[in-house]
Structure 1
Amino acid sequence: MKIAIFNNHDSSSQTITQALTAALAAAGLMLDNDHPDVVVSVGGDGTFLGAFQKYVDQIDTVRFVGLHTGHLGFYTDWLRTELPQMVASLRHDDSEKVSYPLLDMTVVYDSGEQYHYLALNEAAIKQPLGTLVADIYLGGRVFERFRGDGIAVATPSGSTAYNKANGGAVLHPSIPAIQMSEIASINNRVFRTLGSPLIVPDGQEIVMKPQSDNFLVMYDQSDIKGQNITELRFRVADQKIHFAAYRHVDFWQRVKRAFISDLS
């Protein structure tokens, strides 16, 4: 089995990466950062998102493992003190996996060009200055005209991030859906939106047609300047992210650990 290591530039993560590299070699496991079977992310959730984006073109064949160098993160199952146990699990890997839905975002430009992106957490369209104005289409028909700071569209696993801060629901990753939430919408007698987060199932699209300029499109840790963009389409992706299943923490336990308490 071929292993890739993706780490951040923190000194702690680099130290752990050196120890992990030596432990993998001692266990007879091959390092291959180009075409791995398993990617080990060493760092926090931000590092994990970076690992996902680096290997997104191999998303159908690669599985991910998260090793946290501090406290436990949302996507990281192993602590730095558990490195020997993690290497032993990799050595006895049986190819089992747990899969989560991803967000597919299509960006359409006025030239007719289209680009596809995958996000593990979410995409957010924000207007840094002024007000974002955008028509939202559901079921192929215009649903509302949004005015406000922005809109976030999240995966189930990403529903605990920006979406939750916007008042959205926390969705279990076994539900193939995406969720749209509003960021500081303007609602009065003149301007009106639904004002509630929307959950859209697999097979349907959320289409956003911006009516303002100079907005920013962010997905996970990347961003696109919103110039000459005529349309953004969001749907549940055909692909999924795969986690190695031998030490995968239950989703609700992740939520409890992140927001309530790490006590049993």
Structure 2
Amino acid sequence: MEQRTNIYFYYKGNDKIEKQLEPLVQRLEENLFEMVEDPDDANIVVSIGGDGEFLQAVRHTGFRQDCLYVGIARANESALYCDFHLDNYEQVVAAMNGEALEVRRFPVIDVTINGEATFQCLNEAAIRSAVIKTIVMDVHIDGKQFERFRGDGLIVSTPTGSTGYNKSTLGAVVDPKLPCFQVSELASLNNNQYRTLGSSFILDQERTLELEVIQDGNDYPIIGLDNEAYSIRNIQNVNIQLSEKRIKTVKLKDNTFWDRVQRTFL
């Protein structure tokens, strides 16, 4: 653990959380970890909260490839990304101080808007109408038109993101060991003029997805990147593919992705 001694805590600061953190910080310092104020100086970034806070920690620290992310949930919080709980801080210390540190790697997608700005997503990118009317998009796979979609929008999710917004639209839950991404529909309109597959579909890591927004008065759709929404003027196309980046997290032994899915949903 000589190379991973600096820890940055990411959370919405309040007296209650800081009080709860005191025993954990004390135990980490006793084990020669150093707490830092700047995430760029950290080798380990620790989020305090549920999955939403974990996503924010990854996004606000720039999807770093040279550090480990650790998610610590509090009581009654959703925790598919969080292996640990704040009321069991000794487990956190033991995992980070272990000789055989176990690391889990989560796929990320690259989202490029109008061929200019590129963003990363750990969960999903959602393209939705910003006005009370359907949005029309031509869906291209590897440069070839696949379908013309008309409806409320489309969700493009990573394997770990498949348990979130994607699942609520009856998309498949995908094992994060599979390097792929998934496309799911939001209330598609199917008739003689518009025809879609009508189900989610999964694309391999080598595939490129392009969503071309048809300019029919819905030129300002809302783009949701993980749990942040962006209103970008005059969106013409969105290109999505699996990133080379992988988010590395500290893993508890005997706590697989499917163990966490079972605890959360079954």
Q: Same fold (TM over 0.5)?
A: yes
Structure 2 unaligned segments of length 5 or more: list them: none
**Which of 1, 6, 9 does residue 2 from structure 1 map onto?**
6
Structure 2 distance, partners of 1:63, 1:217, is 28
Q: Does 1:26 align with 2:30?
A: yes
Q: Which residue of 2 aligns with 1:115?
A: 117
CA contact (8 A) 2:83 2:251 kept: no
Residue correspondence of structure 1 range 163-202 to structure 2 within 5 A: 163-202=166-205
Q: Which residue of 1 aligns with 2:44?
A: 38
Counting matched residue pairs gives 255
User: In the TM superposition, what is the alpha-carbon distance from 1:56 to its structure 2 partner?
Assistant: 2.3
Structure 1 distance, partners of 2:237, 2:162, is 23
Amino acid at match of 1:6: Y
Structure 1 distance, partners of 2:29, 2:243, is 36
* 1:28-54 CA-partner distances (Å, limit 9, x unpaired): 211133321111111111111111112
* 1:230-264 CA-partner distances (Å, limit 9, x unpaired): 2101111110111113447201111111111xxxx
SS in structure 1 of the partner of residue 198 of structure 2: coil
Structure 2 distance, partners of 1:97, 1:46, is 21
SS in structure 1 of the partner of residue 207 of structure 2: coil
Structure 1 distance, partners of 2:167, 2:193, is 27
Q: Does 1:127 align with 2:129?
A: yes
Specify whether residues 28 and 234 from structure 1 end up closer, same or farther in structure 2 by C-alpha distance, changes over 3 A only.
same
Amino acid at match of 1:153: V
CA contact (8 A) 2:63 2:247 kept: no
SS in structure 2 of the partner of residue 239 of structure 1: strand
Specify whether residues 184 and 12 from structure 1 end up closer, same or farther in structure 2 by C-alpha distance, changes over 3 A only.
farther
TM-score by length of 1: 0.90
CA contact (8 A) 1:77 1:248 kept: no
Amino acid at match of 1:133: V
SS in structure 2 of the partner of residue 8 of structure 1: coil
* 1:186-237 CA-partner distances (Å, limit 9, x unpaired): 1122321111111000011110011131210011122221422221011111
**Identity of paired residues, percent?**
32
Specify whether residues 55 and 152 from structure 1 end up closer, same or farther in structure 2 by C-alpha distance, changes over 3 A only.
same
Q: Which has the higher strand share?
A: 1
Q: How large is the Cα RMSD of the aligned pairs?
A: 1.8
TM-score by length of 2: 0.89
